[in-house]
Amino acid sequence: MSATSARSPAGSVGPVTARPTAPGSLGVADGSGPDDPWRRKRRPAHGHASWRVAALWLGPALLLIVGVVIYPAIALVRASFNEYSITGLRRGSAGWANYANVLQHDDLVTVLRNTIVWLVAVVTITVLISLALAQFLAKEFYGRRLVRWAIIVPWAASLVITARLFTLMYDYYHGILNTLLLNLNIVNEPVDFLGDDRWTMASMVAVGVFVSIPFTAYVFLAGLHAIPTDVYEAARVDGARPWQTYWRITLPLLRPAILVATVLNMIYVFNSFPIIYTLNERNPGFIHDTSITFAYKLAFKSAEKDVGMSAAAGVFNVLFILLIVVVYLRVVRPQEELR
């Protein structure tokens, strides 16, 4: 049989073009020779990109993290060990004196109590209201898309603008809230929501809940959509009541979303400087401040005007929120593993 013909798999004989062989070979073109023009180059397997490609994609994000997170953190720690003049000029090393001064501050206990009350109240109320709101938004009703769009507005708006609007609503003389309460004969005289110590924290918590609900509700709504409908159909066949279905099926399957929303809200609410500072701007001292506004006032609004103390308070804030998140995860995770 000639080199230009070969037997086909079916047993027939037909013309087949032979692959050219390299000069000096034995006439066998198996593709194993180094000079074989038919030899294919190997391509890197998928998922094994070179470090240059990885650096090209991750470089901008890493530069942003270094410039926005890592460098300010290093500068904050370095400033906490230095002494500065009232104009911000460095005088020299302060050692651990700034940390000691923060721990010995007369208003530290009040600030820590306000921080815990603010954090726990806002996060707890937000999660409870958002669970009910997400359940409502998951239903089919006329105008649902419009309602979903409207709910996200407080989260998209500037916190400073939102806080200013609530300041006008809380106004003692012309606020719409006092006007409504007086017209309905609920109160006999206007309420000083931002000046009366009995109402200041509650008024700030209301604003914090208002701006935190949209994000939390949408996280829970996404979690509800991820639950298979077959589970609810099986529960309905078994005769489960709506409350039993929600307690034994919806909430357990919604726990990952609740965990994520709670942790993010802790960080978000703890660092919520605009709301507390804007609503509490006219009150002297630190009686209604949290640790975030406390650190700011130490540098710019207090008698100390000490940048080093403010930096030390900032370091304490980072450690404080990390401790809260770690404790929360330590408490929640073992309970989920038991289930």
Residue range 128-180, pLDDT digits in tens: 999 999 999 988 888 888 988 888 888 888 899 999 999 999 999 999 999 99
- Which residue's entry shows tokens 């509650």? 202
Band of pLDDT at residue 330, cut at 50, 70 and 90: confident
For residues 231-254, give the mean pLDDT: 87
> For residue 330, which amino acid is it?
R
Predicted local confidence at residue 35, as pLDDT: 52
C-alpha to C-alpha distance for 174 and 168, rounded to whole angstroms: 8
To the nearest whole number, what is the mean pLDDT of the chain?
A: 84
- The structural domains of the chain, ordered by start, are 51-93 (no CATH), 108-288 (1.10.3720.10)
pLDDT at 100 (0 to 100):
94
Closest CA to 253 of 138, 143, 175: 138
| pTM for the structure as a whole | 0.78
Task: Give CA–CA dist 211/197, Å, rounded.
Answer: 23
pLDDT at residue 4, as a whole number? 44
Question: Buried (b) or exposed (e) across 145-156, using 16+ Cβ within 10 A?
Answer: eeeeeebeebbe
Contacts of 18 (CB under 8 A, 6+ apart): 3, 4, 29
pLDDT beyond 70 at 221: yes
Residue with tokens 């308070």: 313
Pairing of strands 5-7, 82-84: unpaired
Q: Which tokens is 191 given?
A: 């309420």
Tokens linked to 55: 């650096």
Query: Residue 1 pLDDT > 80, yes or no?
Result: no
Between 7 and 121, where is the model more confident?
121
Which is more confidently placed, 2 or 66? 66
| AA letter at 13 | V
